[in-house]
Amino acid sequence: MSAGEGDDYSDVGPRPDTTGAATQTLAANVAHLARLLYNEAKERDIHGRSTMTKAELQKALSR
């Protein structure tokens, strides 16, 4: 038998979906940050906040 021939790794068991979990966590954190920025802009009555990107909101809030 040559290298790699017949290796099915069935005894390894299921692998956790770490990439999927990390992606899901990242997406939740980005959404949370966007809500925080938007709510702060709303409290400060910054006009045009609903069409601003996160970067634009951060810049407007830093003034």
In the predicted structure, residue 10 carries a pLDDT above the cut 90: no
d(CA 48, CA 4): 59
In the chain, the percentage of residues whose pLDDT exceeds 70 is 79
The Cα-based distances of 45 to 26, 32, 40, 50, 55 in angstroms read: 28, 20, 9, 11, 17
Q: What is the pLDDT of residue 4?
A: 58
Q: What is the pLDDT of residue 17?
A: 79
Cβ contacts of residue 44 below 8 Å, gap of 6+?
61
Averaged pLDDT of the chain: 87
